[in-house]
Amino acid sequence: MKFVTASIMIGAFSLLSKILGLGRILAFSNRLGLGQEFDIYVAAFRLPDLIFNLLILGTLSVAFIPVLVGYLNKNREEAEKFSSTIFNFTLLVMGVFGVLGFLLSGWFAKIIVPGFSADAQAATASLTRILMLSPVFFSLSSVLTAYLHSFKRFFIAAISPLFYNLSIIAGVIFLYPKFGLPGIAWSVVAGAFLHFLLQFPMGIRLGLKPLRFWDLSQQGVKKFAKLFLPRVFGLELGQISLLATSVLGSYLASGTLAVFYIAYDLETVPVGIFAVSFAIAAFPMLSEFFEKGDMSSFRTFFSRTAVQILFLIIPISVLTILLRAQIVRLIPGALEGTKFTFADTRLTAEALGFFAISLFAQSLVPLLARCFYAMRNTIIPVISGLVAGVINIGLAIILRPLASPYAFAIAFSIAAIAQMLILFIWLRRRLAEFDDEFLYVRTIKICISSIIMAMTAYLTLYLVAPLVNMVAYWGILVQTLSAVAVAAATYLGAGLLVKLPEARGLFGILRSWFAKFTRPVTSAIVNAFTDFR
């Protein structure tokens, strides 16, 4: 129950964060459009993101949490020494990389966007120098997040991204008109600092003692290094794809990087809300099962969590493919006719559709990777990531002659599916078996329900279109909401028809909520009728 509660809470705040992220896209589309300035902004993130993603994101927590959880169960004093040492070492290392990134930003800009003009490369380098402060704050914030998650405290860590997005939106609205792109860059740095500052007091309250201990000889630090160092060589597939797109896309039409970035941002919304939330909440429990040697519970817990993710993600991916044009026209395309053109809408929708093909794979990768991390194995996720990266870059080069952002989305999706299959097959070999009948039978039922849902959603789109003004924003909104409502009802009904337990559980929750909110109204009507009599 704690796992479900934590997943729901993390997912709810992820949803709010993603909504703000969509607001950020809307703000960028309005102020910048999909032109050279947006391309420069996207390219300027590549060096700070590369450093942060390579050394910290998806790396620190998977090495930090298992070691700290082990200490918390045995020796609280050693836990304090370990966490303080890692905090201080992170500050030192990221400070050094921040300075190096600042000094080398001009050289890196020429490598990452070779097709840009000299002025555009100089602007990219200038923006990068400001943004190099953000990975320092985000890295310390990541230590705090991992520390809080080790205590199963998810709330503060879950709300921190909200303030990061709010800061950027404020920068786009208020600072960009006066200071240009540097104003947005400083708002990014301010958002990263807020992300850190919000978690710091809770970390101190739970026993974190920053700057107090420095013991690199501690056994826990050595265990951390053993788990951490191999993971450094594994770069997250999304970052590999953004890097490849920056290099290859810099030779294509202006706005190519911006289109890819927006489509990628849109398609990661459900991954962040559902898949990552489940994986984050599951990781401490998977670590505990492995610590206790309870591999039967480990297998069962993985299978059930994977099914819960697929129950939500597969229908979402189908709907995203069907409604890709509507989604883009309703969010970044809401400002179509200003700096966001109809051509931008079409290109972004094409890329989004190809991204959505691999949503199921992208959603399972965080959980599969954390299964290996819980078992103190960081090598397999690294290998799978490297293979996926090679596939992504190779396909991006092959498909580049298509001269469109969707070519890079195709390369990304194929690589994501390959990474998921590698992790899945390897994990099954490692565990000898999953809860096979449970996992496969329910996945088939989810797919059947999603196919039925797709047919009704597709039919609804064409039945509603003649009834509304498809040129107007509100007409598209009505058509989209109608299709989504029919799709949701059909998916739930089909799930009940094929006896899918997750559908039955969801139906029970909805019925309970409906009864809760309608009970006062029903009681009022009954009382009024009684008084009348």
Please state the domain extents for the chain.
Answer: 2-434, 452-533
Q: Which 8-state DSSP code applies to residue 404?
A: S
| Residue among 251, 151, 255, 156 nearest 198 (CA) | 156
All residue ranges of the chain with pLDDT < 70 are 1-11, 14-15, 33-34, 57-59, 62, 230-239, 241-242, 332-341, 403, 517-533
Lookup result for tokens 């320092």: 136
> Looking at this protein, which amino acid is placed at residue 251?
Y
User: Is 491 in a helix, a strand, or coil?
Assistant: helix
Direct distance between the N- and C-terminal alpha carbons of the chain, in angstroms, rounded to an integer: 47
484 touches 473 (CB < 8 A):
no
27 touches 205 (CB < 8 A):
no
With vertex at residue 174, the alpha carbon angle to CA 173 and CA 180, rounded to the nearest 5 degrees, is 90
Which tokens go with 244?
């490849």
The CA-based dihedral angle spanning residues 377, 380, 382, 387, taken in that order and rounded to the nearest 10 degrees:
180
> Looking at this protein, which amino acid is placed at residue 324?
R
Q: Which 8-state DSSP code applies to residue 429?
A: H
Q: Which 8-state DSSP code applies to residue 275?
A: I
User: Is 229 in a helix, a strand, or coil?
Assistant: helix
Q: Longest C-alpha distance within the chain, in Å?
A: 85
The confidence score (pLDDT) of residue 42 equals: 84
Rounded CA-CA distance 275/256 in Å is 28
User: Is 340 in a helix, a strand, or coil?
Assistant: strand
334 touches 26 (CB < 8 A):
yes
User: Is 239 in a helix, a strand, or coil?
Assistant: helix
